[in-house]
Amino acid sequence: MKKYAIIGLLVLIIGAFVIVPFFQSSGDDDMAFADFERNEDIQTTYGATIPLTLVVPESLEKVELIYNDSIFKTWEQPTAKINFVLDASYFGVGTRIVVIRSYLSDGTTQDASHMIRVVSDIAPTPMLVKVTKEYPHDTQNYTQGLEFNNGKLYEGTGDPSQQGKTVVGQVDLKTGGFSGLKNGLDHTYFGEGITIFGNELFQLTWKNGKCFVYDKNTMQLKRDISYSGDGWGLCNDGKALIMSDGTERIYFRNPKTFQIIRTIDVYDNVGPRTFINELEFVNGKIYANIYQTNTIIAIDPLTGKVLEEIDASALEISGKSGGDVLNGIAFNPLTNKTYLTGKYWSKLFEVQFIPIQ
């Protein structure tokens, strides 16, 4: 009996080694999906292409290549290996996700993904600020937005002390103080960037998720719009509102609905430029203060590439006067003049941007 018991035990053990792998192999084949041959994230330069090799198992119904949520290529009944050249610059600079989606025979899908980081192919042109004229600026104004419209200067302020000091309205260039019509928010709101589109003035708030819309002629509140995330800088290109949130991302929004139309990521030839704050659209470029610095950058609105880097450190010496950081860019299209100031600064500067020789 012991001999038969030992033989039976051996049969069970051998059967386990044969049968279990059979079932495991069958299950793996059913769940097999396409993947990248190189299992790593990729960094490349704007304008370059990326050769991708996809390893594809048998019996897949379809494979899709998806880049930045857009389907770039579809293969029906794909072969064992697929070679594809990806134009990584299609959506400009920034960090994107490329996905290989496998359609399995049971009707389900399986994704494999990698991150692609696209940096700019150019170094920003270094620039300096040349002061051509000085004006007074109200040292009570924690400047968050600055913009000209029909030759009139508008300023929007914030309220770090939460005392209800957020104000937006017209500013007298000669005195630096608010003149004529203005409006304010209560202490629960921290005002941010402003821009004028048509007959409406838009004012962001920092953490409240509210954009207030005023009639620019009466400064009466017309409506408010909710959005998610931080509100920092705001400008417009005549077609869309352009908004920053303190990261490297810039949002283009519909002026009527405030819905996001598209986004860009702001990158130079090294990587992302974060803390993008107050914005101004000037002659086809977005100019942006970099928060907590004396740096202003010029951005390509189509690609997100940083075109210029402007050092405005010289303004601190005579303009800061115990105030806070540089913030506030305004361009007057009627005179082609540019103006800069800062939070609680005593002066507003008329400036030119000069390339460093």
Domain termination site, one of 99, 119, 139: 119
Q: Which CATH number characterizes residue 159's domain?
A: 2.120.10.30
- The answer to whether position 24 is within a domain reads no
> Is residue 216 a contact partner of residue 203, using CB atoms and an 8 Å limit?
no
Residues 314, 188, single domain; the answer is yes
- The answer to whether position 13 is within a domain reads no
Phi, psi at residue 22, to the nearest 5°? -60, -45
Q: Where are the alpha helices (DSSP H) in the chain?
A: 2-31, 314-319
- The answer to whether position 16 is within a domain reads no
Give the 3-state secondary structure percentages of the chain, helix then strand then coil, rounded to 5.
10, 50, 40
Residues 92, 163, single domain; the answer is no
Give the confidence band of 163 by pLDDT, cuts at 50, 70, 90. confident
- The answer to whether position 19 is within a domain reads no
Residues 195, 327, single domain; the answer is yes
Residues 141, 81, single domain; the answer is no
Residues 114, 238, single domain; the answer is no
> Is residue 45 a contact partner of residue 118, using CB atoms and an 8 Å limit?
yes
Residue that is written with structure tokens 């994704």 in the block: 111
- The answer to whether position 3 is within a domain reads no
Give the pLDDT score at 230.
98
- The answer to whether position 105 is within a domain reads yes
Q: For residue range 295-353, what is the model confidence (pLDDT) as tens digits?
A: 999 999 999 999 999 999 999 988 998 889 999 999 999 999 999 999 999 999 999 99
DSSP string, 234-269: EEE-SSSEEEE-SSSEEEEE-TTT--EEEEEE-B-S
Residues 328, 201, single domain; the answer is yes
Give the pLDDT score at 220.
96
Domain termination site, one of 98, 119, 140: 119
Q: For residue range 28-44, what is the model confidence (pLDDT) as tens digits?
A: 444 488 999 988 899 99
Residues 222, 244, single domain; the answer is yes
Residues 179, 107, single domain; the answer is no
Number of domains in the chain: 2
Domain that holds residue 280: 125-355
Domain termination site, one of 72, 95, 119: 119
Residues 323, 343, single domain; the answer is yes
Residues 113, 147, single domain; the answer is no
Q: For residue range 3-27, what is the model confidence (pLDDT) as tens digits?
A: 444 444 444 444 444 444 433 333 4
- The answer to whether position 8 is within a domain reads no
Residues 279, 306, single domain; the answer is yes
- The answer to whether position 67 is within a domain reads yes
Give the confidence band of 116 by pLDDT, cuts at 50, 70, 90. very high
Residues 108, 131, single domain; the answer is no
